[in-house]
Structure 1
Amino acid sequence: MKNIAMGSAALTRGFALLGFETYPDATPELVEKVLEGLVNRREKALVLLEHQLARSHGPVLAQVRSEGGRIVVGEVPPLATPADYHPPVEDLVRRILGPSALEEQP
């Protein structure tokens, strides 16, 4: 199984220390190319994408997310502003359970 991290150079440096295959300063086009290669070779992989790449709208990324299974895609918050990060699942929870669903209770 491959472990891949794509994002800013600062982010990928840390993942390289953990033994990940890294793609510093990756673009949405590179994400598509790497994912397409994994799909075509039927490889298993954990792919961590910095938030702006994870929210790109490439067709291969959408395909991998909809299939699930062999290739797992995760989203990593930005290094500079982690407190401002909100994962996409929060929007889903708010739509289903209401706008106050994630508010902290005293």
Structure 2
Amino acid sequence: MDAQHTYDYDRPTRMLFLGEDRLADGFRLIGFETHPNPDPELVDRTIRELLRGREKAFVVVDDAVMAQDIPSLKRVRREGGRIVVIAVPPLGEQPQLGSEVARRLAALFGNAVVNAKAEP
């Protein structure tokens, strides 16, 4: 194994949260780097830095951030790889399923099925 591969395994995965401040406190308490209420430029810059540094990262954004037109966010969602991005809904809200799979399911079965509340 060459030095580059060894180095990749030794580097920890960064955990970041970018989203509303009410959620940021909880993520900070469990060890995430947090960026409360980020503007689109900060989100774009943060993800570009992860890409440039070839870092491994688990990035959690809120639904509002995910819905914005942020080039680097779209890129990592499209390409996958070292950076995994998921979205969480605002506190007390239903998740907004925005994946290609969710769109296909909605087209086949209707939005009511995709957005149905789970029974306890």
Shift of 1:39: 0.2
Match of residue 98, structure 1, among 109, 114, 117 = 109
In structure 1, the residue matched to 2:23 is 11
Q: Structure 1: any 5+ residue segments left out of the alignment?
A: none
Q: Structure 2: any 5+ residue segments left out of the alignment?
A: 1-12
% identical equivalent positions = 37
TM-score (norm 1): 0.85
Shift of 1:101: 7.2
Contact 1:12 1:24 in 2 (8 A): yes
Determine whether 1:58 maps to 2:70. Answer: yes
Provide the aligned C-alpha RMSD in A. 1.8
Distance in 2, Cα, partners of 1:16 & 1:93: 34
Distance in 1, Cα, partners of 2:64 & 2:96: 12
TM-score (norm 2): 0.76
Which consecutive aligned stretches of 4+ in structure 1 deviate over 2 angstroms post-superposition? 89-92
Equivalent residue of 1:49, what SS?
A: strand
Shift of 1:68: 0.4
Shift of 1:93: 1.1
Contact 1:15 1:22 in 2 (8 A): yes
The aligned length equals 101
In structure 1, the residue matched to 2:96 is 86
Distance in 2, Cα, partners of 1:100 & 1:37: 36
Distance in 1, Cα, partners of 2:87 & 2:112: 22
Match of residue 84, structure 2, among 65, 69, 72 = 72
Contact 2:63 2:96 in 1 (8 A): no
